[in-house]
Structures are given as structure tokens and as C-alpha cells.
Amino acid sequence: MISDTETETGSLIINLTCPECGTIHSAAVVNTVCINEACRSTLFAKYNLSDNIDKSILIGRPATMWRYKEFLPIAEEKNIVTLGEGFTPIIPIENLKQFIGDNEVFWKDESGNPTGSFKARGISAAVSKAKELGIDTIATPTAGNAGGALAAYAARAGIKAVVYMPKQTPQVFKDECRLYGAELVEIDGNISDCGRLVNELAEINGWFQVSTLKEPYRLEGKKTMGYEIAEQFNWQLPDVILYPTGGGTGLIGMWKAFDELEQLGWIGSKRPRMVAVQSESCNGIVSAFNAGKHVSEFADGGFTIANGLRVPKPYADKVILRVLRETNGAAITIGDQEMNAAVKEIARHEGMLVAPEGAALWQAYKKLKATQWIKPGEKVLMINTGSGYKYLENIEL
């Protein structure tokens, strides 16, 4: 077990624990989901957290997500595969203030990450751990951004990448994969179809799969958003966080981070109300949440300009729904036309070209404000998960 000896990075990882059945898995060997056949849940990395670790360890650390390396799973420095991901800026709404009344509304702007989306965080952690475990080929199904990120980080790590992507994805997502040297396969179907194929072929070809939440460490990378939000807001979390939900990694990751930060004594027990925003065409979480259900149904109504949200049935739907309930959150859908309009509104008034997934949050904010679900004086954070530049072929100007 890694925890028996001190790691070079200071990583405090102990093991991988199943949040459903409690089965413990060693973090020193390759893992996917829980080995319990009846369970197959996403695994959560567990750390040896105590309240005698002081925040001052962060002083002078690099402005990347690896400033939190004690709470990440990599044991040896040489295995960290980084392109400078994370520690993205918090940017307040400035010129659209007529919509926000007396709220304070901020973006956490993930568009400046390597390959233009927050996928860089999860993939940096997953590829680093794969390198540490000696893996030579990594495969993933993707709706777009995860493929580009995997291709880039695999190139950096000297690992082969195989990417399965729906044909309907904008060209730039395909071109970047090929430029970074990945093997790209275009599929006539959605991300679930890609996932099925990767799953079959991975077994035959010995590829390691990093499908969303079927691999434990992408979650660890994405959770660093939660650490950053706490640090950047001076350890006082906002009241509401809006998140564009595909597979749900970021949402679950932030929730996990807040839990870890409370164990460290760096924050208190107050949690933001978490809001899952989906596209009208892929609304399984919204339907399940509003019907009071604990699992979601397969839902794919076809094309959306927010390709990151075209996930018909998230693997960790149960956990997403639990987070929404435990935080007294909400779930809301936004249509493509509203997203397109928001991309333009934010660009023209705020000087930011956000991804349609991020733009959806601005429309969700306005709706939740109008119904007074968001109350006067509350502090609201929207996660702009990616750069609008990659989506321009689908945006009406």
C-alpha cells in the first residue's frame, strides 16, 4: 500500500474505496470500477486527511492544479504529466449587471486550460496515474473535449491514445486529436455508442479505458476546481454553483473536494446549492431529479450545439442525483437557441467567448433568479467549462 511509506510528492492517498458497497481497492495497481459484480460503482480515492495540515503549505506553490498534490494520487514527481492546467481565474459579471440585481455573479473560466476545456484537469490526473502504473495505450469515448485533452497529455507522456468520437462533432475536435498524434475513430452515433465500442475493443486489444467515471482519477483532477474555488473565495464558498452536466465528473468532483476540505478543517460545513444544467435534448438528470428518482433513464433527443452535454445516461447518475439532493440543489434544461443567444450576449457584453455549455448556465441563472430560487444577496458561481472558439462552426452569428 502506498500509504505505508511516505510518497515523494507527499500524496496522502490511502486506497480507492467504493462509495456504494465499501469495498477497498489498492491504489498501487490498475483499477477501473468496483470489483463487486453487483455494484460496479465509480471508485473514490481516499486520503489520509487530518486537521493538522495547514493551508500555509500552499504558499509559493505553482498556479496549477498540482498545488494540491498532497490530495492527488501521484506518488512520484517524475510521473506528473502537466501542461499548466488549473488555477483558472474567477471573473465577475460586469456589464450584464441589469440581470443580476443585488447578486454577485462570477464565472470560473476554464477556457484557458490546455486544449481549451476543463477536461485537461481530469486527463492530466488520469494520464499521470497511468504513467505511474506503466500503462502503454489509453482509449476513451468522447463527445469532443476529452478526446483532445487525452491526445495532448498522452503525447506529452509518450503513451498511445485511441479516441472514439461521434462523426457529428465539430471538425476542430477531430483535427486536434490527429495533430496530437492520437488514433481517431469517427462513429455514426452518440457517445454511448462510442463507449460500447471502446469497451469491447479495449478488452481485445489491452487498452486502458478512461471513460468518464469508469476510471478513478479523472474525478481527482476535476475535483481541484473545488479546492480552487475555496482558496480563491478565501475559504468562504459561494451560495450556489451552476454546472453544465454531461457525465457529471466536475459536479461530483467539487462535492468530493468540499468534503475533503472540511476534513482538513480548511472550510466549515456550509455547502453551495449545486445546480445541474443539461441541454433540452439530453435531459435524463433533470427528469429524474424533478420526478424524485434516484437513477436516470436513457435520454437522447439528438444533436445539440453543446456536444459536451450529449451524454444520454451518465454512468454515475445516482451520485449526481445524490449531490443535487444533499445540497438542496436544482436541475434545469436549456435549449440550443437559448445557448446560442447567450454565447453572443456574453461575448458582446462581457468580452468572453464561452462554450455553449457555459452559456447555458447564464440562461439557467436568469431563470432561477426570476423564480427567486436564487435569492437576493446570494453569491453565485458559474463554471464556464470550455472555450467557445472550438464550437464556432455551430454558432449562428
Ligand X SMILES: *Cc1c(COP(=O)(O)O)cnc(C)c1O
- Interacting residue ranges for Zn ion, rule: CB under 5 A: 18, 20-21, 23, 34, 36, 39, 41
Residues that bind ligand X (CB under 6 A): 117, 119, 145, 212, 244-250, 308, 355, 357, 385-386
| Least gap, CB of 348 to ligand X (angstroms) | 21
Output 117 or 304, the one with its CB closest to ligand X.
Answer: 117
Contact 379, 238 (CB under 8 A): yes
To ligand X, the closest distance from the beta carbon of 145 in angstroms equals 3
User: At its nearest, how many Å lie between Zn ion and the CB of residue 29?
Assistant: 17
Closest-by-Cβ residue to ligand X is: 308
Q: What is the DSSP string of 35-48?
A: S-TTT-PPPEEEE-
Q: Which does 355 bind (CB under 5 to 8 A by kind): Zn ion, ligand X, none?
A: ligand X
Selection from Zn ion, ligand X, none that 114 binds (CB < 5 to 8 A by kind) is none
Q: Which does 246 bind (CB under 5 to 8 A by kind): Zn ion, ligand X, none?
A: ligand X
CA 63 to chain centre: 19
For residue 39, the partner it binds in ligand X, Zn ion, none, with Cβ less than 5 to 8 A by kind, is: Zn ion
Do residues 201 and 207 lie in contact, with contact meaning Cβ atoms separated by under 8 Å? yes
User: By C-beta, is 297 or 378 nearer to ligand X?
Assistant: 297
361 binds, among Zn ion, ligand X, none (CB under 5 to 8 A by kind): none
CB of 112 to ligand X, least distance (A): 13
CB of 32 to Zn ion, least distance (A): 12
Distances (CA, A) of 81 to 122, 150, 152, 157, 320: 11, 11, 10, 6, 28
The answer for residues whose C-beta is within 8 angstroms of residue 298's C-beta and 6 or more apart is 192, 284, 312, 313
- State which residue, 361 or 380, has the beta carbon closest to ligand X: 361
Neighbours of 233 (CB within 10 A): 16
Distance (Å) of CA 141 to CA 87, 134, 246, 336: 27, 21, 13, 23
